[in-house]
Amino acid sequence: MEDVHERELVERCRGGDERAFQELVDRYKDLVFALIARTVQDRSRAEDLAQDVFLRIHRGLPYFRGEARLSTWIYRIVANVCLQDHGRPPGAVSLDDERTPAAPAVSDRQFGDLELRDRLEKAIARLPANYRLLIAAHYLQGVQYEELAEALQLPLGTVKTQLYRAKQQLRRMLENELK
Amino acid sequence: MFCDEALDAVEAIAAGDLTADGRVAAHLASCPNCALALEGARQLERSLRLRAVPAPPAQFTSRTITRVRRAQWRSDQFLDVGFNVAIALVVVAVVAGVWMLLNRTGLTAVSNDAVTLFGSGFAMVARRVVPSLPRYAGAAALLATALGIWWWAERDAAL
């Protein structure tokens, strides 16, 4: 049923129906924005890139053959946009800078969680772009390995291995916090 | 089993993709460093699952649609300019081709003579017609009045 609606939506977009395209943007904006914002870690840049993604979708819809799911095709576009983005080099982020200040009413455990979250974001920013994208996508709305592999046009085993390596790197960077 | 081997499996075990059994389980039970690494990997897994999901700004859809419209307008403009340039090139090519053809076949000289002939013929006809012009105009006015009266009478009859 969902697939039928999706196909109808794509057909309407292809026919130049602007309302249909608006519906498509509304449907996928959360996913696209979250994925990009998690990968580039800069909201204004993320908005620009997310708009780029929808622009590419708009241009590419006439050539979308429907062999893959629409969401898979969108993941692929997001991956291309993120990997082509020449933003801030990930290595420029230090784990020691700008630590989150402790709020007076926050307990030690909450503070520990906040600090871990903050350091985790900074550690992710230091990962290579493809690892960041994998981490962002895999932990977003439970995207399965299979869908990621199809979107990134990589073998399933490679996706799993790269994810493990990304997490291994993160674990090493956060060694002190994870004890 | 060596620690390197167990440490390689730690992420997969923490993600639930691999079950620690046999030699790996025995090693993890006996090696505090590897057990600590597994605990760290599990904590990291939990933290990654709890990562905040950034939401798009409120005006995201309208801003995106505006940008798409602008891009489409630009692309249409580009197409229009391209089309006009192509048409102009085709016209220039056709005119140049016809001129070259006339030139090569010697028709340009004939056409110059034809232009002169038509010009002088037109001037002669004009000189003859001009003195009788008021008479022709009167006849045309009479004919137009007669046609007008006929049309008016026919319209009344139809009503």
Quick one: A1 and A83 in the same domain? yes
DSSP string spanning chain A? -HHHHHHHHHHHHHTT-HHHHHHHHHHHHHHHHHHHHHHH--HHHHHHHHHHHHHHHHHHGGG--SSS-HHHHHHHHHHHHHHH---S-GGG--TTSSPPPPPTT--HHHHHHHHHHHHHHHHHHTS-HHHHHHHHHHTSTT--HHHHHHHHT--HHHHHHHHHHHHHHHHHHTTTTT-
Who among B40, B47, B67 is closest to A179 (CB)? B40
- Beta carbons within 10 angstroms of residue B48's beta carbon: 18
Cα B7–chain centre separation: 55
Percent of chain B residues past pLDDT 70, beyond the cut: 97
Quick one: A119 and A83 in the same domain? no
Quick one: A101 and A169 in the same domain? yes
Q: B100-124 pLDDT, tens per residue? A: 888 887 777 777 778 888 899 999 9
Quickly state the pLDDT bin for A51 (edges 50, 70, 90): very high
Compute the average pLDDT of residues B88-93: 96
Quickly state the pLDDT bin for A110 (edges 50, 70, 90): low
Quick one: A11 and A79 in the same domain? yes
Distance from CA of B48 to the nearest CA of A (A): 7
Distance from CA of A28 to the nearest CA of B (A): 10
Quick one: A105 and A169 in the same domain? yes
> Chain A interface residues facing chain B, Cβ-Cβ under 8 Å?
18, 21-22, 25-26, 29-30, 33-34, 37-38, 43, 46-47, 50-51, 54-55, 58, 116-117, 120-121, 135, 139-140, 160, 163-164, 167-168, 170-171, 174-175, 178-179
* Binary contact (A33, B65; C-beta < 8 A): no
Shortest CA distance from B65: residue in chain A: A22
Quick one: A78 and A151 in the same domain? no
- Beta carbons within 10 angstroms of residue B44's beta carbon: 23
| Token pair belonging to B75 | 């692309």
Quick one: A169 and A132 in the same domain? yes
Torsion of CA B94, B95, B97, B98, to 10 degrees: 110
pLDDT(A158) > 80: yes
* Binary contact (B41, A139; C-beta < 8 A): no
- Beta carbons within 10 angstroms of residue A132's beta carbon: 21
Last residue of a domain, one of A58, A87, A116: A87
| A116 contact residues in B (CB cutoff 8 A) | 47
Q: A30-46 pLDDT, tens per residue? A: 999 999 998 887 888 99
CATH number of the domain enclosing A169:
1.10.10.10
Quickly state the pLDDT bin for A108 (edges 50, 70, 90): low
Q: A122-133 pLDDT, tens per residue? A: 999 899 988 998
Q: Does B130 touch chain A (CB under 8 A)?
A: no
Which residue in this structure is represented by tokens 């081709």?
Answer: B97
Last residue of a domain, one of A87, A103, A121: A87
Shortest CA distance from B53: residue in chain A: A34
Distance from CA of A136 to the nearest CA of B (A): 9
pLDDT at residue B52, rounded to an integer: 85
- For residues B14 and B41, the answer to whether their CB atoms sit within 8 Å is yes
Give the count of domains, chain A: 2
Quick one: A107 and A144 in the same domain? yes
Q: Does B15 touch chain A (CB under 8 A)?
A: yes
Q: Does B64 touch chain A (CB under 8 A)?
A: yes
* Binary contact (A58, B48; C-beta < 8 A): no
- Between A131-135, A150-154, B79-83, B136-140, the lowest mean confidence (pLDDT) is in A150-154
For B16, list phi and psi in degrees, rounded to 5: 85, 10
Interface test with A, best of B51, B69, B72 (most A CBs within 10 A): B51
Last residue of a domain, one of A64, A87, A110: A87
* Binary contact (A37, B54; C-beta < 8 A): yes
Q: Does B28 touch chain A (CB under 8 A)?
A: no
Q: Smallest Cα–Cα separation from A119: which of B39, B56, B44, B7?
A: B44
- Between A16-30, A81-95, A119-133, B116-130, the lowest mean confidence (pLDDT) is in A81-95
pTM: 0.68
Alpha-carbon torsion (A157, A161, A167, A171), positive or negative: positive
Amino acid found at B11: E
CATH number of the domain enclosing A81:
1.10.1740.10
Which one is predicted more confidently, B127 or A1?
B127
pLDDT at residue B1, rounded to an integer: 67
Quick one: A99 and A67 in the same domain? no
* Domain region containing A151: 92-179
Shortest CA distance from A44: residue in chain B: B57
How far apart are alpha carbons B23 and B26 in whole angstroms? 5
Who among A29, A135, A164 is closest to B56 (CB)? A29
Who among B15, B47, B54 is closest to A117 (CB)? B47
Torsion of CA B75, B79, B80, B86, to 10 degrees: 160
